[in-house]
Structure 1
Amino acid sequence: MNFNFLTPVSDLVLAHNELLSSQALGKKIKIHSAQNGIPDLDDVDIAILGVLENRNDVNYIGEEFQLDDIRKSLYGLFSGSWNTTIADLGDIDKGESVEDTYFALKTAISILIKKDIIPIIIGGSQDLTYPNYRAYDNVIPMVNVVNVDSKFDLGDSNKPIKNNSFVGKIILDQPYNLFNYATIGYQTYFNSQEEIDLMDNLYFESYRLGQVSKDITIVEPVLRDANIVSVDLTSIKGAEVSLNQKYSPNGLDGKEICAISRYAGISNKVTSFGIYEYKPSKNDEMTSMLVSQIVWYFIEGVNYRLDDDDFSEDKNYQKFITLVDSQELVFYKSNKTGRWWIEIPFLNEVNNKLKRHTLLPCMHQDYLDACNNKLPDRWYKAFQKNCV
């Protein structure tokens, strides 16, 4: 398997790892080192991948960065009672051009997801989500992307790709594989009215910071339905991170971002998870520790995945049918986990994109709303996309 574009984890981190407790996570990870090369991936479930690319950051002024502090923090944490095997594959350095980095990242992710290994990408600028998305071109027909961000990052797709406009490229570049795009934690004053309207017109989903902070559980269904989750560290409030990472006094707090990460891990569909916009400071313990804990909670979630979406046998679920404005809505509740789904009806006369999306994750509240003659918002948007 050709991963010759990966550079090993630094000797500094490996030396630090030697001093850790035998129970520490760093002692249980297969690590790509200069001495031993890339570890065998045969029984690996999760692979950590650094990407040292930030040239498409709109504020890029030539600064370099590395991920040693994050690795030191992560390796020093204790693992849960996990049964997953984790590898750290080291870093993808900047290529000759940004396109070279994109190609290397796309290649690496594509190899990993075809081997049923979940990559955790830790990187520079968030435009790296674009090659992450393109890695799915020949893997699954339609892709759902969730962006944890204060902004939609739609941008002007006619201009060269940047970290504030990569979603426009995902929507408009061929092949068209995007089915749903959702933003968690957006802050209205960072987004133009034009972008907010476009999100509505495309029937994409958006969850305001206030909604998420009031009830974090509202984001679980959209994460349960995601293939790719991309976290922008600027969505985290300034008080939670170190100096260079501070962006806004408002944002998600540490507990909220870790809960979101765990929901992403628990989702049976999430097959890649990225954390972007890392900007190290001199005294960087806060940010590197928070990123480590975000990664830890994602791995924790993966360990608690349950196959609860098999509705082929009656004993696995309960079925509920209700009428809303003469529209019959069919809900399913898993007997294993208590999680809910809603059925999206096929429109036979339409060239249907939804062959794999007949059941849409939802909340118990959506069923209660339907009983009170209110159409669930997620169902409505998915139904409208199905009609397009």
Structure 2
Amino acid sequence: MIDFTHLQDFLTPVSKAQLNDDEVYDDLQIGRMIDLYEDDHIPDLDAADVVLLGANEARGNGMPNSKKSTPDIIRRQFYKLYHWHRDVRLADAGNLQTGRSVADSYAALKAVVTELIDGGKTVIILGGSHDLTYAQYQAYATKKYIIEATVADALIDLQETSSLRSERFLLDMFMEQPNYLRHYNHIGFQSYFVQPRMLETLDKLRFDCYRLGKVRENIEEIEPVLRNTDLLSVDINMIKHTDAPASSLSPNGFSGEEACALSRYAGMSAQLSTYGIYGYNPEKDKDDLTAKQIAQMLWYFMDGRSVKNKEAQLTERESFLEFHIAFTDIDTVFLKSKKTGRWWMQLPDKEFVPCAYSDYLLASNNEIPERWLRSQERL
């Protein structure tokens, strides 16, 4: 049971009437279906699968907090969309109260997210600057949960000399002791923004970094990465400027459609429990296009969660096609889901890890899949 009376100390309610200009939502719009924390209504979080949480804290990026409620601008667009996934129950816990200091906001976010993931909920955090990822991670560390984390960002925020928390929060995550990161993935970095030695360091740690161009060549290869992820953090600067005007870092990046595909893959993950979308600055947005982009990413996350609900457990072998393969004197097993078409491969310790069809093809041609090698190195 989630104790919402305890969470209320950290939260402020939201008004559907203000979000929709006093208009009534249609029966099948998300704004009608979602269970929202309002002044006169307490949401039943125990009945929800996915819980939204707003966080307006941006001081870690060296900016004053916006006078506009950034999460509410995204909500306004998200609530207008139609709810096609009736098997995914949505709730909205409202907005996090901004602390007197950034550390206070971190502590509040950590406390609320910890309670929600302990209650078995998937939490979507609408930020806020990207350094809130650290508080997102702390929600697991507090409980000593060992996790796999994935960040999608054009930059790699490991700038040791920077005074901005948003540019160096990964240092805190990687160097904190005790450490509860089992593995880290970075998706969509743009090489010309990244110090080469930084990538060498991450590779020595056996972390996996995927360059933007490589991901765009075959975006489906990222689905197994997200399937194994507990924490996902997205900076909207991963999206090119024309598709997200509030992202002014680069003319290059993921397209809006590709960002939605990544969000859908995240929703398909049975492992993922927190998903933060950060870096949205409404002052830079044009016609709320970036807010609409984020709203559609959230819709695709729900679409993926609906697929996840249909997937069988690996123990239900009748729901999978089984392929026994021998490559370079190694005997292993590949599984393909009859329901979703997704693949898994077996490591020498007999554990199955997510993989792609391309890994099966390599093994069939007596080649060792790189994903298999990287998994072995980490073991």
Separation in 1, partners of 2:317, 2:109:
42
Separation in 1, partners of 2:372, 2:22:
48
Are residue 272 (structure 1) and residue 274 (structure 2) matched? yes
Residue 140 of structure 2 aligns with which residue?
136
Residue 231 of structure 2 aligns with which residue?
228
- 5+ long unaligned stretches in structure 1: 347-356
Are residue 368 (structure 1) and residue 361 (structure 2) matched? yes
Give CA deviations for 1:325-351 in whole Å, capped at 9, x if unaligned.
Answer: 3333332223333321122223xxxxx
Q: Is the CA contact (8 Å cut-off) linking 2:16 and 2:31 kept in structure 1?
A: no
Residue 93 of structure 2 aligns with which residue?
89
Q: Shift of residue 184 of structure 1?
A: 1.5
Are residue 174 (structure 1) and residue 177 (structure 2) matched? yes
Q: Is the CA contact (8 Å cut-off) linking 1:17 and 1:76 kept in structure 2?
A: no
Q: Is the CA contact (8 Å cut-off) linking 2:57 and 2:65 kept in structure 1?
A: no
Q: Is the CA contact (8 Å cut-off) linking 1:114 and 1:139 kept in structure 2?
A: no
Give CA deviations for 1:130-152 in whole Å, capped at 9, x if unaligned.
Answer: 11112123657421111111122
SS for the counterpart of 1:20 is coil
Higher helix share: 2
Percent identity (aligned)? 35
Give CA deviations for 1:53-88 in whole Å, capped at 9, x if unaligned.
Answer: 11111x435654412321111111111142222111
Residue 53 of structure 2 aligns with which residue?
49
SS for the counterpart of 1:182 is strand
**Cα–Cα, structure 1 residues 70 and 306, in superposed 2: closer, same or farther, change >3 Å?**
closer
Separation in 1, partners of 2:120, 2:77:
27
Give CA deviations for 1:304-326 in whole Å, capped at 9, x if unaligned.
Answer: 21464633354233333333333
Separation in 2, partners of 1:11, 1:84:
20
Q: Is the CA contact (8 Å cut-off) linking 1:227 and 1:271 kept in structure 2?
A: yes
Residue 127 of structure 1 aligns with which residue?
131
Are residue 25 (structure 1) and residue 26 (structure 2) matched? no
**Cα–Cα, structure 1 residues 155 and 21, in superposed 2: closer, same or farther, change >3 Å?**
same
Instruction: In structure 2, give the amino acid aligned to 1:129.
Output: T
SS for the counterpart of 1:163 is helix
Instruction: In structure 2, give the amino acid aligned to 1:218.
Output: E
Separation in 2, partners of 1:133, 1:182:
14
Q: Is the CA contact (8 Å cut-off) linking 1:16 and 1:72 kept in structure 2?
A: no
Residue 292 of structure 1 aligns with which residue?
295
Separation in 2, partners of 1:39, 1:284:
31
SS for the counterpart of 2:295 is helix
Residue 76 of structure 1 aligns with which residue?
80
Separation in 2, partners of 1:27, 1:17:
13
Separation in 1, partners of 2:65, 2:315:
55
Alignment of 1:201-350 (within 5 A): 201-242=204-245, 244-281=246-283, 283-306=286-309, 308=311, 310-346=313-349
**Cα–Cα, structure 1 residues 19 and 337, in superposed 2: closer, same or farther, change >3 Å?**
closer
Residue 350 of structure 1 aligns with which residue?
none
With 165-174 and 299-308 compared, the bigger mean Cα shift is at: 299-308
**Cα–Cα, structure 1 residues 374 and 17, in superposed 2: closer, same or farther, change >3 Å?**
farther
**Cα–Cα, structure 1 residues 321 and 160, in superposed 2: closer, same or farther, change >3 Å?**
farther
Residue 109 of structure 1 aligns with which residue?
113
Give CA deviations for 1:233-292 in whole Å, capped at 9, x if unaligned.
Answer: 0110000123x4322100001100001001100111111111000100364420111111
TM norm structure 2: 0.91
Residue 153 of structure 1 aligns with which residue?
157
- 5+ long unaligned stretches in structure 2: none
Instruction: In structure 2, give the amino acid aligned to 1:278.
Output: Y
Separation in 1, partners of 2:79, 2:66:
26
TM norm structure 1: 0.89
* Number of corresponding residues: 372
Aligned-pair RMSD on alpha carbons? 2.2
Instruction: In structure 1, give the amino acid aligned to 2:240.
Output: K
Residue 378 of structure 1 aligns with which residue?
371
Separation in 1, partners of 2:141, 2:347:
25
Give CA deviations for 1:21-63 in whole Å, capped at 9, x if unaligned.
Answer: 2321101111111233x32222111111011111111x43565
With 169-178 and 123-132 compared, the bigger mean Cα shift is at: 169-178
